[in-house]
Structure 1
């Protein structure tokens, strides 16, 4: 049989122990109460635009603490103050340089660094597919960005750089030149290109952007004053002539040939062909199976011609293309569908014309495409 226990005597706590307990209790209450009502003033400030090309995108988080909450940030932009002139350098106008990229070419990046327009006024935007090649290109691109922006000379550093990854699968697994240019691949390939261009454009176009320069990732050689030269014409849309350097086996010397056949003036033959097409059919340029007899800017080049001579165009290519930002703001984009039987950059030219913006070309002003 268990014996009952005697009275229990509690040991008196020391003053030191009581003090430690009080301090510990206060700390616990502080963290519990303080964490429920954090101060978001810093995050609110950070969510406002850090510079004119970065509109606020961070969500506003409500405060659960007492007192009157602070209002969400409001950023004001007056587009009437954005100049788009023939002298972008003198007026310190912001340039948005956009490049869809499937492969990375070192010559492309080296050429960017040689552009004489102040790099602190240039924002770069890239979009790359989620493929093996796209992943490799992203890795190489990021290496060059880090090298330029962190350790490179200050004059080489760009205002900001944005990299996007496509949220859709590319229609072609191979990016080889021969595969890309097969006529049966053109509609799906160019529809995907249009989607990529639109995603890049709509994500990066800021309220302070004056000009948008589209430059393909395989354009590896341009004049250093490319931006100033094109903008000097003050045209809403203007394209240089894209050529390609190659080794001519007959001449046994380096030579050059036209490359981009999407800069053209329409023809009666092409207009009649379009009338006979179904609503989803598209006209393609540069293929013997679809002779349009359009006047191609690629063949308007004259060795002794004026470098700054302009011609009006009905279709444009995207190898190199300078566009006033207002043209895109008006709604001119790259249709991934048949738009008057045109698609992507040629469809963009048609859309720009429908909005009252006439595209132009420079037959004797050349940029050069990579030769695989």
Structure 2
């Protein structure tokens, strides 16, 4: 009987049995038993979160995450830095020398006109060394410049020694070293090794009754004449300590760089190596044990001479040295105490850099640049070196008798043979880098037959014991660094 009531009819009875078919042949009979329905996602999540195994897993995840964040375990930078295991290192220098003589290994070089000489095989390790003291304002830029170098980063080692510092330079050096080696930013460009050391020397010098430099080592104060002997003693100890701590068998060349050098060419290492190996394109050139560019100061629109420790002896300077007591020390660059040496810095034009530097390369002096255009040329009361006496333009290279530490590339075997940085007593009246230069000449030049200039002809061709200056190639130093 049909009812017209609008009320909903009562629900059909439910059962756990679902017949495969009804009397009229239809399949999939409807049913309303909720226990037969698959559980919803919400129910599944609730069930999963209440399981003991899930709760234990969540606890372990929170514990591990907290420990990782706090550096209790995991791969934090300090743990990675201190990690590693024992290994065997072997190197046959005799076999290596024969290999180099056969292959003539070198790197790319950009010449004065911007022409790139293609690279040959890279396989030589360069150790960059830098002593620092109260250098917090320079250290980030120092690391930045190193990261711009085009030499393969895996063949670069970096060694830093911080001494007598009060401004947090050591802690900042560690932070930047960790960032350079472990952060994603430098993935694929990490260096072969970075070593950061801390060792104070001033207090030990003072306690021993020696001349001790206790200044802040910043600004004009560090260049006062009265501070130089004590300061150079401290620098000599710092450089030698750093060299011995950072030198490893893999190193082929050592590049000394001041922390307050503000700019240099990205391909600077390749260029210096080309001179050191006598591998300059389109010219016959012998190599050198030490190569130094001309270190100048630079502002936004001016430049001028800075490092005055790259010099050549003259008859006047040799006469002065003959009259000195054995422990007298000569310091360059002070008008009240002239040494009468010819300085590489005397070949730097004091002019607007835009009118002096090559338009192709802002690190190269325009070629040719007439010597007559230099300020105060020729130097008054000074005998010029023979190579300059007849020259009309600034030469590309100049043999030196001493070098400074602003930036210098040194053949590693020179250091391994004993050429370090004397702190005391002086070597031929010189300390630190200038004393190092005297050791290079004494250790690397044989006592056999020599030419008119005191250099053995065979050593002249190989560059053994040679100190080479590059008057026209610039690296830039801070004005009051």
TM-score category of the 2 structures, normalised to the smaller one: 0.7 to 0.9
Question: Is the alpha carbon distance of 1:109 and 1:46 closer, same or farther for their aligned partners in structure 2, counting shifts above 3 Å?
Answer: closer
Provide the residue aligned with 2:471 in structure 1: 363
Provide the residue aligned with 1:244 in structure 2: 297
After TM superposition, list the pairs within 5 Å mapping 1:230-309 onto structure 2: 230-233=272-275, 234=277, 235-246=288-299, 254-301=301-348, 303=356, 304-305=366-367, 309=396
Provide the residue aligned with 2:436 in structure 1: 348
1:140 is displaced (CA, Å) by 1.8
Distance in 1, matches of 2:197 and 2:256, equals 15
Q: Structure 1 stretch 294-303 or stretch 103-112: which is displaced more?
A: 294-303
1:327 and 2:414 matched = yes
1:271 is displaced (CA, Å) by 1.3
Distance in 2, matches of 1:47 and 1:132, equals 35
1:76 is displaced (CA, Å) by 3.2
Deviations 1:162-213 (A, max 9, x none): 1111142362231123221111111110011000000011111112211000
Distance in 2, matches of 1:269 and 1:195, equals 30
Distance in 1, matches of 2:321 and 2:188, equals 49
Q: Is the contact between residue 108 and residue 220 of structure 1 (CA under 8 Å) also seen in structure 2?
A: yes
Secondary structure of the 1:173 match is: coil
1:156 is displaced (CA, Å) by 3.1
Deviations 1:130-182 (A, max 9, x none): 4313xx11122222222221112224311111111114236223112322111
RMSD: 2.0
Deviations 1:200-242 (A, max 9, x none): 1111111221100001111121100111000001221000011
Distance in 2, matches of 1:191 and 1:168, equals 9
Q: Is the contact between residue 237 and residue 324 of structure 1 (CA under 8 Å) also seen in structure 2?
A: yes
Distance in 1, matches of 2:220 and 2:262, equals 19
Q: Is the contact between residue 308 and residue 365 of structure 1 (CA under 8 Å) also seen in structure 2?
A: no
* Greater C-alpha radius of gyration: 2
Q: Is the contact between residue 173 and residue 196 of structure 2 (CA under 8 Å) also seen in structure 1?
A: no
Q: Structure 1 stretch 111-120 or stretch 272-281: which is displaced more?
A: 272-281
Distance in 2, matches of 1:77 and 1:238, equals 25
Q: Is the contact between residue 190 and residue 336 of structure 1 (CA under 8 Å) also seen in structure 2?
A: yes
1:124 and 2:124 matched = no
Q: Is the contact between residue 82 and residue 209 of structure 1 (CA under 8 Å) also seen in structure 2?
A: no
Q: Is the contact between residue 79 and residue 208 of structure 1 (CA under 8 Å) also seen in structure 2?
A: no
1:329 is displaced (CA, Å) by 1.3
Provide the residue aligned with 2:144 in structure 1: 110
Provide the residue aligned with 1:48 in structure 2: 87
Give the gaps of 5 or more residues in structure 1. 1-44, 50-74, 248-253
Provide the residue aligned with 2:226 in structure 1: 184
The structure carrying a bigger strand percent of its residues is 1
Give the gaps of 5 or more residues in structure 2. 1-83, 108-119, 204-212, 278-287, 350-355, 357-365, 369-393, 446-464
Distance in 1, matches of 2:407 and 2:478, equals 13
Question: Is the alpha carbon distance of 1:157 and 1:145 closer, same or farther for their aligned partners in structure 2, counting shifts above 3 Å?
Answer: same
1:336 is displaced (CA, Å) by 0.8
Q: Is the contact between residue 267 and residue 292 of structure 1 (CA under 8 Å) also seen in structure 2?
A: no
Distance in 2, matches of 1:325 and 1:308, equals 27
1:87 and 2:106 matched = yes
Distance in 1, matches of 2:293 and 2:427, equals 24
Q: Is the contact between residue 79 and residue 207 of structure 1 (CA under 8 Å) also seen in structure 2?
A: no
Distance in 2, matches of 1:349 and 1:244, equals 23
Distance in 2, matches of 1:155 and 1:349, equals 37
After TM superposition, list the pairs within 5 Å mapping 1:13-28 onto structure 2: none
Secondary structure of the 2:256 match is: strand
Distance in 1, matches of 2:189 and 2:295, equals 25
Provide the residue aligned with 1:55 in structure 2: none
Question: Is the alpha carbon distance of 1:299 and 1:341 closer, same or farther for their aligned partners in structure 2, counting shifts above 3 Å?
Answer: same
Distance in 1, matches of 2:472 and 2:478, equals 19
1:119 is displaced (CA, Å) by 0.8
